[in-house]
Amino acid sequence: MKKAKKDIKTKELFFSKSMDFLEVHIPLQRGQSPNTSVSYRKSLTSFRKFAFEVKNISITKFCFADCTYDFVLDYSSYMQNVQHLKASTINSRLAALKAYLKYAAAMDISLEQIYLTVNKVPFLTVPVLRRPTISQDSMKAMLEAPTQVTTSISLRDQTFLVTLFDTAVRIGELVKISMADLYLDISEPYIVIHGKGNKERQVGVSDDTVDFLRKYIETTHSEDESSDTPLFYVRYKGEIHHMTERNGERIVKKYAEMLREAGVDLPETVYPHMFRRTRATGMYQDDVDIEMVARLLGHAQLETTKKYAYNSTKQLRSAMERGGRPAINEPEEALYEGADKEAAFARKFGIR
C-alpha cells in the first residue's frame, strides 16, 4: 500500500509547484532578486519545451516520475549537441532544474528520491578564461584622468572612479549608495553596500578615498539635505535622482577612450566591472586571503571569488592599505500545431 501511495505522489504533474517556486520561494523566502526568478523561469521553460518538442510529452502529462536521471542527461546532451549552447548556459539551466526539484522535495518528501537522483547529473566543465584586468600604472592613469579635464563634474567623476575601484563594488551597488550609507567620521570608515538579494554588507574605505568623498560632498551636497539623498546623482526636471548604471558606464568609457588616444595601455573595452575584477585580482595576487576577498566582493559562494584567483606573485600584508544591457528575451520559436495550447497551460504554471 505504501508503494502505491508513493507512486501516486510521483505521478503528480512535474510543473505543479513551479508557480509557487518562482513567485513565492525565490523572491520572498530566499530573498533573491527578480533577475534570479527570470533566469529560473527561462530555464524551466527550456526544460518544458524539451519534454514537449523533443520527447513529445505534454505539460499536462509530464510527471515527476518522468524526470529520471537518463531523461535529464538527454536534456543536457540536447543542449550541447543540438542547441549548441555554452557550457555555462547549460550548467545554469541544470542548476535551476535541480533547485526546483530540491524545493519540490522539501514540500513533498515522496519526491526526495527523484531530486537526489537528478542531482547526480553532472555539470559540464567550463573552460576557465582569464578576463582582462587593468595594469597598476594604467589604473593610476584612469583614477587621475578627470583632473585633466576642467569641468564642473570633474571632481564627481574622479570620486566616482576612486570609490568604484577602492571598494570593488558592482556598478549597480555604487549608484544605489545614499548619504545615510556613509560612515566616514569614525576610526574605521566604511560604506553600507546594498547588494544582490537585498543583502547588506559593510565595505571599508581607505583614507585617500575618504578624503575624496569629503571634498566631493562639501562641494556638491548641502548640510540640510535628506539622509536618503543619493551620493552620486543627476538632476532631472529640477529633482535629484540616483545616477543610473548607464551614466556610470559612460563615465568609465569616456576617460578610458581619452587615455587610449593618449597612448595609455588599456584593454580594447573598459567597463565598470573591470575595476572590480582588477581590484579583487590584485588583492589575491598580493596574498590577501581569498575569504577576505569574497567578503569584500559580497560573494555568497567562494567558488565565485575563485574566478579572480590567478596565481599570486609576491607576499604582501599591506595590500588593503596600499590599494586593489537590460536582459533581452530570446525570440519565441515559431509555434506549430498544439504548441499554442501547450504554451497556454505553461503560463498557468508560471512558465512559458
Positive or negative torsion for Cα 305, 308, 314, 319: negative
Which residue intervals of the chain are DSSP H helices? 2-10, 18-20, 34-49, 69-81, 87-107, 112-118, 136-144, 154-167, 171-174, 207-220, 245-261, 272-285, 290-297, 302-305, 319-322, 339-348
Alpha carbon 69 to its chain centroid, in Å, reads 29
Instruction: Give CA separation, 127 vs 88, 121, 201, 288, in Å.
Output: 9, 19, 31, 25
Q: With pLDDT > 90 as the criterion, what percentage of the chain qualifies?
A: 57
Cell numbers at residue 238, please?
A: 529640477
Greater confidence (225 vs 182) lies with: 182
Evaluate whether 232 touches 242 at the Cβ level (below 8 Å): yes
Cell numbers for 25: 520561494
**What is the per-residue pLDDT for 10?**
57
* Range from 203-212, 232-241, 276-285 carrying the lowest mean pLDDT: 276-285
Residue with the bigger pLDDT between 280 and 178: it is 178
pLDDT (tens digit per residue) in 239-273: 899 999 999 999 999 999 999 989 999 998 999 99
Ranges of each domain in the chain: 2-127+334-348, 136-312
Look at the block and give the residue holding cell 514540500.
Answer: 107
Q: Is the pLDDT of residue 310 over 80?
A: no
The pLDDT of 51-61, averaged and rounded, is 94
- Write the DSSP string, 123-166: PPPPP--------HHHHHHHHHGGGGS-STTHHHHHHHHHHHHH
Say which CATH architecture domain 136-312 belongs to: Orthogonal Bundle (1.10)
Q: In what order do the strands lie in the sheet with 190-194?
A: 182-183, 190-194, 200-204
Q: In this predicted structure, what is the pLDDT of residue 151?
A: 78
User: How many residues are there in the chain?
Assistant: 352
What pLDDT sits at residue 336?
Answer: 45
Average pLDDT score, the chain = 84
* Sign of torsion over alpha carbons 151, 153, 154, 155: positive
- pLDDT at position 9 over 60: no
Average pLDDT over residues 300-311: 66
3-class DSSP assignment, residue 331:
coil
Does the pLDDT of residue 36 top 80, yes or no?
yes
Distance between CA 133 and CA 116 in Å, rounded? Answer: 40
Range name among 19-28, 96-105, 209-218 with the lowest pLDDT average: 19-28
Mean per-residue pLDDT, 85-108: 93
Residue 334 banded pLDDT, cuts 50, 70, 90:
very low
Q: Is-contact 67 44, C-beta < 8 A?
A: no
C-alpha cell at 55: 520527447
Report the pLDDT value the prediction gives residue 241, as an integer from 0 to 100: 93
Model confidence at 319, in pLDDT bands (50, 70, 90)?
Answer: very low
Determine contact, residues 310/285, Cβ cutoff 8 Å. Answer: yes
Model pLDDT, residue 232? 96
* Spatial separation of the C-alpha atoms in residues 243 and 42, rounded to whole Å: 30
Q: What is the mean pLDDT of residues 34-51?
A: 91
What's the pLDDT at 199? 85
Higher pLDDT, 314 or 152: 152
State yes or no: pLDDT of 347 exceeds 80. no
Predicted confidence at residue 128, as pLDDT, reads: 67
Q: Residue 73's pLDDT is what?
A: 96
For residue 303, which of 38, 163, 123 has the smallest C-alpha distance?
123
High-pLDDT (> 70) share of the chain, %: 84
Of 21-25, 114-118, 241-245, 316-320, the one with minimum mean pLDDT is: 316-320
Check whether 330 has a pLDDT greater than 50.
Answer: no
**Pairwise pLDDT comparison (329 vs 49), residue with the higher score:** 49
